[in-house]
């Protein structure tokens, strides 16, 4: 199966970074998130920083704005455009931007080169490949640091797999054949099971589809397929086939528009 990094990156774009050591400074940040609770990773980070600042008497506060479906629907739907607009007009509203690493190439020219401000020993603490692929601009500047790496995985029912002598699927074809076989065998015993749950709900369906497309790239080292590429077309066709073959409601609700 495939893995994904959903890298959310934070960027320092302080106009006068030396002010970070002065008193009574408020650093403003912005992030898009499906949730904004105390347990959300961005709140854990910001609360930890503010607590550290208080303990050390730094006089610095991080004020983080979270765009969520509940608080700003329109801004959520065009988050990339919103950030692009802020940066293009050189807005000073926010100092730190959390965003998906896929936007790095588009935004890179707006940010400073962190290599000029961070100690080399500190930078070496991060994975070199991640910094190169997700945190660098087209002209090789280090414009970001990773705040979160999100990894997807397939959870399998080991009991059922063992019962029918099947291995954990490693490809979508294997997932299709294995799930259909076990489903039919269990159906003979009046036991109805869910063959595949894609987690493509109204909250994260768009992201999940992009992850599925990513699994059709030529190799693990290939970039994410372009939206009009052969890989993207094949991925969406296969996803529709999975919906038709497996028939799960979660897939039907999200892909019904492809039935036309």
Which segment of 45-49, 124-128, 201-205, 225-229 scores lowest on mean pLDDT? 201-205
The rounded distance, in Å, linking the Cα atoms of 61 and 53 is: 7
Higher pLDDT, 32 or 4: 32
Domain boundary among 148, 176, 208: 148
Kindly list the distances between the CA atom of residue 251 and the CA atoms of 1, 5, 64, 208, 244, in Å, as whole numbers in the listed order: 18, 23, 35, 11, 9
Nearest residue to 181 via CA among 246, 240, 242, 249: 246
Q: For the segment 218-257, what is each residue's pLDDT rounded down to a tens digit?
A: 887 787 788 889 999 999 999 888 888 886 544 444 444 4
| 215 domain residue, yes or no | yes
| 2 domain residue, yes or no | no
**Percent above pLDDT 70 for the chain:** 77
- pLDDT confidence tier of residue 74, bands split at 50, 70 and 90: low
pTM for the structure as a whole: 0.59
- Residue 29, beta-bridge partner list: 64, 96
Which residues contact residue 73 at a Cβ distance below 8 angstroms, ignoring those fewer than 6 apart? none
Q: How many domains does the chain have?
A: 2
CB atoms near residue 80 (< 10 Å): 15
Kindly list the distances between the CA atom of residue 56 and the CA atoms of 108, 154, 155, in Å, as whole numbers in the listed order: 33, 43, 44
Domain boundary among 108, 129, 148: 148
Return the SS3 of 255. Answer: helix
- Residue 148, beta-bridge partner list: 8
Domain boundary among 148, 173, 208: 148
Residues 180, 132 share a domain: no
Residues 192, 143 share a domain: no
| 69 domain residue, yes or no | yes
Is a pLDDT exceeding 90 seen at residue 168? yes
- pLDDT confidence tier of residue 201, bands split at 50, 70 and 90: low
What is the domain range of residue 33? 8-148
């Amino acid at each position: 199966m495939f893995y994904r990094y959903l890298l959310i990156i934070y960027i320092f774009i302080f106009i006068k970074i030396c002010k970070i050591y002065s008193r009574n400074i408020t650093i403003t940040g912005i992030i898009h998130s499906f949730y904004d609770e105390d347990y959300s990773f961005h709140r854990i980070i910001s609360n930890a920083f503010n607590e550290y600042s208080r303990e050390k008497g730094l006089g610095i506060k991080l004020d983080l704005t979270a765009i969520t479906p509940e608080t700003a629907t329109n801004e959520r739907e065009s988050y990339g455009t919103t950030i692009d607009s802020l940066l293009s007009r050189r807005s000073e509203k926010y100092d730190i931007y959390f965003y998906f690493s896929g936007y790095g190439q588009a935004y890179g020219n707006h940010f400073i080169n962190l290599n000029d401000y961070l100690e080399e020993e500190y930078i070496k603490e991060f994975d070199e490949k991640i910094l190169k692929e997700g945190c660098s601009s087209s002209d090789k500047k280090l414009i970001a640091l990773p705040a979160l790496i999100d990894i997807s995985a397939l959870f399998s029912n080991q009991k059922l797999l063992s019962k029918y002598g099947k291995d954990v699927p490693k490809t979508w074809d294997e997932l299709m054949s294995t799930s259909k076989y076990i489903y039919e065998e269990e159906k003979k015993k009046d036991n109805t099971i869910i063959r595949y749950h894609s987690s493509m709900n109204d909250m994260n369906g768009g992201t999940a589809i992009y992850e599925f497309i990513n699994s059709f790239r030529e190799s693990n080292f290939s970039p994410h397929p372009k939206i009009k590429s052969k890989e993207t077309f094949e991925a969406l066709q296969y996803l529709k086939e999975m919906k038709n073959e497996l028939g799960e409601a979660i897939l039907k609700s999200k892909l019904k528009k492809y039935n036309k």
